[in-house]
């Protein structure tokens, strides 16, 4: 069936507007509960985490009502990172994990992400089945089989202790000064605590959530504040997380900002040298820079590309037996340690590399020169599909031909917003700007009334 409410990362939208209403969240919870509680027994459990958005309270309660109505027992984690939900779903032998978060979006948005009992995000087929159940009458459990909800206090502590085990026991962060910007989001307690307990001097930003300031001029979508703090405090490294802490942006000691491609390049090289990079392959998306692909090829390694979405990166990693992947935006997936992108664990791995190598962050974050890349987002009117317009298709073909042998072109609809993303890479920046401008103008003309 055609999916109507699931996007590239669960369900997402504006809070109190369909599909992110309390009524729909209740039905989504009931549909998910019915999908996972197929044997009719009353032994099933689901863990629910959330970030710090005000609307999280509403959605948490609605999901809990729906899940318990179908007999699921709910364990409420409170504010925890998305990767903690994946970890705890598997660790606590839950049938289902749910994270209430819109990731890097502003506070007025929210979302619902699902994890299976193995701790990995649900695939398209499972989401389609849940949506099929959602479109029908959902039979409730018998009165004696209604589930119960329990708020647990130790979930974050379990994740914190696990995070510390992902670097060698003998590795301490003593002597390192680290700025960590938690985006006023889900990791506002966990991230500073882990870094401090491992010995670092911690300068914490974005740790005062009020329900409305998540991702507001802070975190991975606005790393400038952390870069300034790095320079002013003479810090060795800056770590910027997003609202649910599944992505990371790093800042070197000079205040220069680096994204997921440079992190994957470093980890790919180090793991290959250590003989721990499965299949000599890194998995990323079509958005990753051409420079990363060329760098890995120069090392005798392979970059496999997927469509955009860390879920699709993980699916390819699992299918191919690979253990390192991610996105340019900062999702770093290390399946030796986590089932989804984990910004905190990626930061710890980078700090461990600094200690082991004795190199500064500025050296480790400059593995390759990035090919100039330009991205423009073109907003569409409702119901418009400019990519099916023959005139737009002709313009795209013309500019694709101009880039043959010198770069590449990628045009795709957003999975979460009414946008067409026009991206190109090319060594010739004048050509790059011209290609993106001309295509964006054509898309805008066709995509607006």
Cα–Cα distance, 82 to 89 (Å, whole number):
11
Question: What is the model's pLDDT at position 289?
Answer: 95
Cα–Cα distance, 191 to 157 (Å, whole number):
11
Q: pLDDT higher for 214 or 37?
A: 214
From the list 215, 208, 264, 256, the residue with the least C-alpha distance to 235 is: 256
pLDDT tens profile 56-71: 999 999 999 999 999 9
Q: Is the pLDDT of residue 132 over 90?
A: yes
User: Which DSSP category does 221 fall into?
Assistant: G
Element (H, E) at 282: strand 281-285
Cα–Cα distance, 116 to 124 (Å, whole number):
12
Neighbours of 214 (CB within 10 A): 32
DSSP 119-184: SSBP-HHHHHHHHHHHTS--PPPPGGG---EEE-SSHHHHHHHHHHTTS-TT---TT-EEEEE-TT
pLDDT tens profile 200-217: 999 999 999 999 999 999
Active-site annotation, residues: 103
Cβ pair 68, 104 in contact under 8 A: no
Question: What is the model's pLDDT at position 1?
Answer: 40
Cβ pair 227, 239 in contact under 8 A: no
What domains can you pick out in the chain, each with its CATH number? 6-153 (3.40.120.10), 159-255 (3.40.120.10), 260-344+358-364 (3.40.120.10), 373-447 (3.30.310.50)
Question: What is the model's pLDDT at position 414?
Answer: 82
Cβ pair 360, 253 in contact under 8 A: yes
Neighbours of 331 (CB within 10 A): 29
Please provide the average confidence, as pLDDT, over all residues in the chain. 95
């Amino acid at each position: 069936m055609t999916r109507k409410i699931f996007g590239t990362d669960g369900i997402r939208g504006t809070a109190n507007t369909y599909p992110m209403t309390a009524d729909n969240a209740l039905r989504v919870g009931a549909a998910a509960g019915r999908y996972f509680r197929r044997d009719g027994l009353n032994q099933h459990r689901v863990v629910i985490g959330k970030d710090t958005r005000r609307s999280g309270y509403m959605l948490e309660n609605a999901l809990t009502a729906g899940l318990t109505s179908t007999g699921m027992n709910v364990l409420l984690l409170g504010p925890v990172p998305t990767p903690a939900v994946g970890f705890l779903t598997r660790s606590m032998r839950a049938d289902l994990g749910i994270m209430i978060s819109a990731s890097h979006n502003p506070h007025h948005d929210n979302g619902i992400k699902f994890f299976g009992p193995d701790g990995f995000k649900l695939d398209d087929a499972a989401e389609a089945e849940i949506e099929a159940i959602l479109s029908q009458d959902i039979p409730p459990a018998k009165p004696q089989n209604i589930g119960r909800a329990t708020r647990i206090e130790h979930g974050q502590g379990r994740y914190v202790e696990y995070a510390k085990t992902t670097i060698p026991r003998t590795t301490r962060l003593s002597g390192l000064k680290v700025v960590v910007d938690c985006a006023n989001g889900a990791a506002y307690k966990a991230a500073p605590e882990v870094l401090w307990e491992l010995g670092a001097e911690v300068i914490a930003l974005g740790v005062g959530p009020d329900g409305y300031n998540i991702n507001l001029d802070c975190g991975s979508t606005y790393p400038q504040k952390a870069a300034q703090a790095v320079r002013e405090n003479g810090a060795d490294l800056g770590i910027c997380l997003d609202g649910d802490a599944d992505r990371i942006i790093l800042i070197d000691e000079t205040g220069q900002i680096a994204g997921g491609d440079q992190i994957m390049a470093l980890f790919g090289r180090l793991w290959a040298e250590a003989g721990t990079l499965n299949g000599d392959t890194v998995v990323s998306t079509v958005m990753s820079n051409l420079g990363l692909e060329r760098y890995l090829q120069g090392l005798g390694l392979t970059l496999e590309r997927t469509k955009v979405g860390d879920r699709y990166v993980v699916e390819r990693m699992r299918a191919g037996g690979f253990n390192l992947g991610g996105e340019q935006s900062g999702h770093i997936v290390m399946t030796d340690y986590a089932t989804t992108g984990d910004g905190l664990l990626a930061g710890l791995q980078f700090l461990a590399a600094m200690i082991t190598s004795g190199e500064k962050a500025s050296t480790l974050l400059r593995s390759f020169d990035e090919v100039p890349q330009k991205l423009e987002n073109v907003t569409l009117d409702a119901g418009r599909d400019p990519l099916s317009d023959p005139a737009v298709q002709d313009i795209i073909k013309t500019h694709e031909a101009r880039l043959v042998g010198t770069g590449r072109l990628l045009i795709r609809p957003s999975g979460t917003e009414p946008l067409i993303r026009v991206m190109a890479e090319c060594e010739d920046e004048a050509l790059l700007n011209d290609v993106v401008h001309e295509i964006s103008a054509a898309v805008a003309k066709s995509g607006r009334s």
